[in-house]
Amino acid sequence: MKDAQPRTIYLKDYQEPDYWIDQTDLTFHLGEDHTDVIAVLQVRLNKSKQHEHLPNLVLDGTDMQLLSVSIDNQSIDSNQYTVTTENLSLPVSKEQFVVTINTRIKPQENTSLEGLYRSNDMFCTQCEAEGFRKITYYLDRPDVMAKFSTTIIADPKKYPVMLSNGNLVADEHLADGLRKVKWEDPFKKPCYLFALVAGDLACVDDEFITQSGRKVALKLFTEAANVDKCAHALLSLKRSMKWDEDVYGREYDLDIFMIVAVDHFNMGAMENKGLNIFNSSCVLAKPETATDGTYQRIEAIVAHEYFHNWSGNRVTCRDWFQLSLKEGFTVFRDAEFSADMNSRPVKRIEDANFLRTMQFPEDAGPTSHPVRPASYIEISNFYTLTVYEKGAEVVRMIHNIVGKAGFRKGSDLYFSRHDGQAVTTEDFVKAMEEANNVDLTQFRRWYTQSGTPVVHVSDNYDAANKRYTLTVKQKCPPTPGQIEKAPFHIPFAVGLIDSLGNDMPLDEQGNTTLVLDIKEAEQTFTFNNINEQPLPSLARDFSAPIKIEYPYTRDQLMFLMSHDNDGFNRWDAGQKLAVDIIKELVEHQRAGMTLTLDERLVTAYKSLLTSASLDKAMLAKMLALPSEDYIAEECDVIYPLSIHVARDFVRRTLAVKLHKQFKACYAANNIEKVYQPTADDIAERSLKNICLSYLTLADEQGIELSWQQYQQANNMTDRFSALSILENAVSVKARDYAEQALASFYQQWQHDVQMIEQWLSVQAGGEYTDLEKIHQLMQHEAFDMKNPNKVRALIGVFANRNKVHFHRDDGAGYAFLADQVLVLNRLNPQMASRLLTPITRWKRYDETRGALMKEQLQRIMKEKDLSKDVYEIVSKSLQ
Ligand code: PHE
Ligand code: ZN
């Protein structure tokens, strides 16, 4: 931490820059000890601002050595400029001039993985959000957009592949044995979209013909050993390119599109113009090493980064407060793409479940912030579930308000009006409004108010007048800095179900789902010609990111589980029933009572397993109990161990009582076939594997079955399911099988990076993996504190999923996490601050645990050299 109190940046202070940069020509001399960078910047005064005299040109730059500066080829003496640890300030005497800056950086020592760094033997960059300032002095802000050229000079034997954004325009061998290549990007862009890669990489080629008939070369670069893991990403890329043409009319704009896989990456992937850089775990797959989940994640992330070419690159963000402009919109776009490629209801269930389980706690915690934040200390801390996932829900609500065709009109207007510009969420909403002639004034509160609204619903049936009324009251709990909230505009999709389980017609046209516009704090909606007392199905398809309070009885939930025509609510009825039952068991467990399971859950699950009305994908989803995290989110005070015990009890009881049904279902879906990651096959495997998880809880036969599946599987989905089932099973036999499996797994796959990550994570989350074991694994040759994937796989999984050992009574789990955060604070501040999350929620836990977590936060706060990243999260958590 450089200053005593890191500075807070406010949206309200936004000002245009004093200068623009029109052209940026970069030259990199990549060396083994250091890299020299020459930046030639064509700078122009911003005349839309008032200037009394020409202000200094203040460029951002950190962690580099300034070798020389000149303006219009006249070298500037060091007593004429000022350099601090954060910027370079140059005197200016003209409205337009060329600055040439020569700097030296040390990528080999850069463990933050921002700016230019090394991953294994290659050079790569990560510039979003503010990494470019670690490469050279620059106006590192997204509203400064320039055309770029990149010249790379390096040893061609070590770095036969040398890449940057745009098109290759020159390639020559120099007299000294070095090679020089030059790339030119014809589109102007902010520097956060700059990228450079150099290394000894293999390339897998493909091509795509755009709707206007242009041929685009597609290239996926990776270390040679991985060329057999590229097919799925390339297929996903071609599908995304086609989908964006069909659904949004967006065509790709360069003749080449490149993806590079790197092993060291803080996030999933990055949409650099024409040169996407991917975390290798989000792009590489083959059936023997990747699970269905990985296949689907790759499809979604490849699409996400590709879609950014329009929603993010061609139209970018004015400032980082607008991050959700590109991220919320692009997540919405990739979710719709995945829904079109796979099962739409299942995708919706997964996304809504993820939002409720992960984003709702964020929005109720100490770092809660609006989709468009009003202030930050470190922007890296704002790549959050709120900005991404809630932001996508906000875009989805607009989509639902204006309809599919209206949304397309709005997006067409947005893209044409703002092409080549850096804009705001306000510009996006305005385009949607104007194209559709709707008023989204109140709706805009979703961008500025934080917190999850709670909608309380009560109803009344007036039999004499055949009239049914729904009374809704909305409130939003206070969040940091926002005590009072104004009412939201909530699109509330409602259906009414009769006693036979049929949807009732709700209007003259016979519509059975109506979207009510909730706008007031309290509002009543009346339905006429309702012939009998209905059961309401509320917020169908998760029509808004809200919580609903309606006093469903357990019998009513069972009824909805088998009858609701809305796939999401049908699934959710099962979740609600299970949560209700498990929460009661948590109370019983705490009171020391013997646990007994409400037979209704057994009946409900039995009818799921025996009814023919559900497809395999839905059935698999419905057979999964709510996660411990979701149950925790639904509890007033979190007792993690009691939740674990109660949920486990329910699983075991179901396993025993429905043994016959699970066995039959497993057998019916255990069909040998060549692995394909298609929606149908994925559904079948997930159904089979959830049955296996119950069978393994029931008896030794189930354990033998898992062991058999582990050994015989022809794909990683089945093998890994069996492994994690065994790793979490109680019996001595299962422990023995798990040990054998882990040993042979390591033996076979120790050279495969993706497999080692899975090997670490299955152990980190294992019910029998205690803190001592985690320490051992950290000493293992497979672990590396400088590799974020491994940190996430071992430490992240332990802290987030291994409830039993992380939350042990003496607080040793929390102290362990704090120790690791302090190590990472120096190596990689972004990783450090993200790893902290579990203990920032200390107020939600029982008093003893809460105090132990808080103690660790206070200990971190005392550290002398705290990064801005960690400082911001810890200080906010202690407020
Ligand atoms: N912009 C990237 C995405 O969402 C995420 C990212 C942010 C990657 C910051 C790296 C650093 O696609
Ligand atoms: Zn993104």
Residue that is written with structure tokens 């009661």 in the block: 584
Pocket flag, ligand 1, residue 470 (CB < 6 Å)? no
Q: Is residue 724 part of a domain?
A: no
Do 154 and 128 share a structural domain? Answer: yes
If you take atom 5 of ligand 1, which residue's CA is the nearest one? 270
| Last-in-domain residue among 168, 200, 232 | 200
Q: Which long-range contacts (CB under 8 A, 24 or more apart) does 684-689 make?
A: 684/616, 685/292, 685/715, 685/717, 685/718, 685/721, 686/292, 686/616, 686/617, 686/620, 687/616, 687/617, 687/619, 687/620, 687/623, 688/718, 689/717, 689/718, 689/721, 689/722, 689/725
CB of 801 within 8 A of CB of 767? Answer: no
Using most ligand atoms within 8 A of CB, pick from 113, 259, 271 the residue to mutate for ligand 1: 271
Give the domain CATH number at 537: 2.60.40.1840
Give the domain CATH number at 577: 1.25.50.10
CB atoms within 10 A of CB 675: 19
Do 154 and 189 share a structural domain? Answer: yes
Q: Is residue 20 part of a domain?
A: yes
> What's the whole-number mean pLDDT along residues 200-229?
98
Can you tell me the distance from the alpha carbon of 43 to that of 763, in angstroms, rounded to the nearest whole number?
A: 54
Q: The tokens of 758 are what?
A: 């899975």
Domain, as residue range, for 775: 751-878
> What's the whole-number mean pLDDT along residues 817-839?
98
Give the domain CATH number at 170: 2.60.40.1730
Q: Is residue 307 part of a domain?
A: no
* Ligand 1 atom at minimum distance from 129 CA: 9
| Alpha helix stretches (DSSP H) within 564-598 | 567-590
Q: Is residue 243 part of a domain?
A: no
Closest CA to 270 of 128, 468, 107, 69: 128
Does the structure show a pLDDT above 60 at 3? no
Q: Is residue 827 part of a domain?
A: yes
Q: What is the pLDDT of residue 1?
A: 42
Do 780 and 669 share a structural domain? Answer: no
* Ligand 1 atom at minimum distance from 380 CA: 9
Q: What is the pLDDT of residue 228?
A: 98
716-727 vs 732-749: helix axis angle to the nearest 10? 140
Pocket flag, ligand 1, residue 269 (CB < 6 Å)? yes
Residue that is written with structure tokens 């805009």 in the block: 444
* Ligand 1 atom at minimum distance from 114 CA: 11
Using most ligand atoms within 8 A of CB, pick from 383, 385, 833 the residue to mutate for ligand 1: 383
Give phi and psi for 85, each to the nearest 5.
-70, -10
Can you tell me the distance from the alpha carbon of 744 to that of 735, in angstroms, rounded to the nearest whole number?
A: 14
If you take atom 9 of ligand 1, which residue's CA is the nearest one? 128
Q: How many domains would you assign to the chain?
A: 5
Q: What is the pLDDT of residue 613?
A: 83
Q: How far is CA 304 from the centre of its chain?
A: 11
Please give the single-letter amino acid code of residue 11. L
Pocket flag, ligand 1, residue 304 (CB < 6 Å)? yes
Do 788 and 799 share a structural domain? Answer: yes
Do 759 and 680 share a structural domain? Answer: no
Q: Give distance in angstroms: CA of 148 to centre of ligand 1.
A: 20
Do 559 and 533 share a structural domain? Answer: no
Using most ligand atoms within 8 A of CB, pick from 117, 119, 128 the residue to mutate for ligand 1: 128
What proportion of the chain, given as a percentage, has pLDDT over 90?
99
Residue that is written with structure tokens 């909305």 in the block: 474
Question: Which among 128, 130, 223, 305 is annotated as catalytic?
Answer: 305
Give the domain CATH number at 324: 1.10.390.10
Do 188 and 134 share a structural domain? Answer: yes
What proportion of the chain, given as a percentage, has pLDDT over 70?
100
Is 612 or 531 the better-scoring residue by pLDDT? 531
Q: Is residue 602 part of a domain?
A: yes
Do 683 and 569 share a structural domain? Answer: yes
Q: Is residue 479 part of a domain?
A: yes
679-698 vs 716-727: helix axis angle to the nearest 10? 20
Q: Is residue 360 part of a domain?
A: yes
Do 526 and 484 share a structural domain? Answer: yes
Pocket flag, ligand 1, residue 192 (CB < 6 Å)? no
Q: What is the pLDDT of residue 4?
A: 62
Pocket flag, ligand 1, residue 629 (CB < 6 Å)? no
Pocket flag, ligand 1, residue 277 (CB < 6 Å)? no
Q: Give distance in angstroms: CA of 271 to centre of ligand 2.
A: 7
Per-residue model confidence as pLDDT tens digits over 48-87: 999 999 999 999 999 999 999 999 999 999 999 999 999 9
CB of 803 within 8 A of CB of 644? Answer: yes
To the query of whether residue 32 is one of the catalytic residues in this protein, the response is no
Do 643 and 520 share a structural domain? Answer: no
Pocket flag, ligand 1, residue 271 (CB < 6 Å)? yes
Do 519 and 387 share a structural domain? Answer: no
| Last-in-domain residue among 551, 576, 593 | 551
If you take atom 3 of ligand 1, which residue's CA is the nearest one? 270
Pocket flag, ligand 1, residue 140 (CB < 6 Å)? no
> What's the whole-number mean pLDDT along residues 720-728?
98
Please give the single-letter amino acid code of residue 850. G
Can you tell me the distance from the alpha carbon of 307 to that of 763, in angstroms, rounded to the nearest whole number?
A: 35
| Last-in-domain residue among 533, 551, 569 | 551
Q: What is the pLDDT of residue 245?
A: 99
Per-residue model confidence as pLDDT tens digits over 573-601: 999 999 999 999 999 999 999 999 999 99
Helix/strand/coil (H/E/C) assignment for every residue in 51-89: CCCCCCEEEECCCCEEEEEEECCEECCCCCCEECCCEEE
Element at 299 (helix H, strand E): helix 292-307
Do 659 and 558 share a structural domain? Answer: yes
Pocket flag, ligand 1, residue 327 (CB < 6 Å)? yes
Q: Give distance in angstroms: CA of 129 to centre of ligand 1.
A: 8
